């Protein structure tokens, strides 16, 4: 899965990195993301995993993107786009087993199942079926097992053609329920350094977020800091200003609660995070200079601030942290 600009890291660079693993294909959320991959030279299958607007079918089919369908009208749109463009229309059938946001209802397969093939055309191909687990990262395995049973119940009624690609596992399910892998898995956040639940070994670090020290100030007692003056020095302190803020996607909520690493040591973020600046208290630290790189996510020497640690402090999930970084934040790829 490389949607949302490669989970915020830069889709084209992510794809170039993953191509060495020879994936069967790539997953995206929108037709424009798929077209972007084609423009980047990707020739292997690209599946669009969200419902798309009616005007997106023609460009998708023309560029050999595989669409996913959640209703019979969408099956007809794929067929019509194939006729208009003169290209083969490829689609996967999403079966809703509890996620609820899209897909055919597995409980009503007797109603929609018989019409699937009829709504297609000789120019469109039904290539696969899938579902999406909503709770594979939780310790309770009941919901995931129930979804798997529902999915297989629907598949038995549908009897997709031999060779159809059957898939259900996101990253959490792939790690926790390997017997549900079927023909393919759809790893996402785990590839990018995010945890997928208790009992699963943490992923290797995939990205670090760093910012330069742009200013160091020695301040006296009772010096206030930031909008709202939410921090006030309790004595003589040394502050380091970092060139990063919520304009770069670094969460504002981490003010007075997050941390940064400098020279392998962890220092607290103080005051509210501004659009362009973040301040850390480096009182007592030696050797920190203007121009040094502070690490806000990742490792520095023996110190580490994990992606999930930051997400927990921000009251959100690792996905939102990564995908929230803006275009102003440079993505620098290191090949080891």
- pLDDT surpassing 90 at residue 330: yes
The residue behind tokens 């299958």 is: 45
Q: Note the pTM of the prediction, 2 decimals.
A: 0.93
Helix%, strand%, coil% for the chain, nearest 5? 35, 25, 40
Q: For residue 25, is pLDDT > 90?
A: yes
Residue located via tokens 């992923």: 203
Distance CA 54, CA 74 (A): 8
pLDDT tens-place string over residues 294-303: 999 999 999 9
The residue extents of the domains of the chain are 3-192, 209-323
pLDDT in tens, 101-159: 999 999 999 999 999 888 888 899 999 999 999 999 999 999 999 999 999 999 999 98
Percent of the chain clearing pLDDT 70 (strictly above): 99
Domain covering 209-323, topology: Lyase, Ornithine Decarboxylase; Chain A, domain 1 (2.40.37)
Active site residues: 3, 227
Cα Dmax for the chain: 78
Q: What is the pLDDT of residue 218?
A: 97
CB atoms within 10 A of CB 281: 20
Q: Tell me how far apart the alpha carbons of residues 100 and 104 are, in angstroms, rounded to a whole number.
A: 9
Fold entry, domain 3-192: TIM Barrel (3.20.20)
The radius of gyration of the chain from alpha carbons, rounded to an integer in Å, stands at 24
Residues 6+ positions from 114 with CB-CB distance below 8 Å? none
For the segment 76-99, the average pLDDT, to the nearest whole number, is 96
Give me the pLDDT at residue 162, please: 67
> Which H or E element spans position 281?
strand 278-281
Average pLDDT of 223-238?
97
């Amino acid at each position: 899965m490389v949607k949302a600009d490669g989970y915020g890291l830069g889709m084209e660079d992510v794809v170039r990195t993953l191509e060495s693993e020879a994936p069967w294909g790539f997953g995206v959320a929108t037709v424009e993301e798929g077209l972007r991959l084609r423009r980047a030279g990707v020739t292997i299958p690209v599946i669009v995993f969200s419902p798309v607007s009616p005007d997106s079918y023609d460009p998708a089919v023309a560029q050999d993107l595989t669409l996913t369908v959640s209703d019979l009208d969408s099956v007809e749109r794929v067929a019509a786009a194939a006729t208009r463009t003169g290209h083969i229309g490829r689609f996967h059938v999403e079966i809703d087993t509890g996620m609820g946001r899209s897909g055919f209802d597995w409980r009503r397969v007797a109603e929609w199942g018989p019409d699937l093939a009829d709504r297609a055309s000789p120019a469109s191909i039904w290539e696969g079926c899938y579902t999406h687990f909503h709770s594979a990262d939780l310790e309770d395995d009941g919901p995931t097992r129930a979804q798997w049973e529902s999915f297989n119940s629907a598949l038995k009624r549908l009897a997709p053609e031999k060779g159809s690609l059957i898939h259900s596992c996101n990253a959490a399910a792939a790690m926790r329920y390997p017997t549900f892998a079927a023909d393919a898995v759809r790893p996402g956040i785990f590839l990018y350094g995010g945890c997928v639940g208790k009992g699963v070994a943490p992923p290797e670090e995939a990205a670090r977020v760093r910012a330069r020290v742009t200013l160091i100030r020695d301040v006296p007692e009772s010096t206030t800091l930031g909008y709202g003056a939410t921090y006030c020095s309790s004595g003589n302190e040394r502050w380091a200003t970092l060139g990063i803020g919520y304009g770069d996607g670094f969460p504002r909520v981490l003010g007075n609660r997050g941390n940064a690493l400098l020279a392998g040591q962890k220092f607290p973020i103080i005051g509210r995070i501004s659009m362009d600046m973040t301040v850390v208290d480096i009182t007592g630290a030696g050797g920190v200079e203007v121009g040094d790189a502070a690490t806000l996510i990742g490792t520095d020497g023996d110190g580490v601030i994990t992606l999930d640690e930051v997400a927990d402090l921000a009251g959100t999930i690792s996905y939102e942290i990564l995908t929230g970084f803006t275009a102003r934040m440079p993505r620098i790829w290191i090949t080891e």
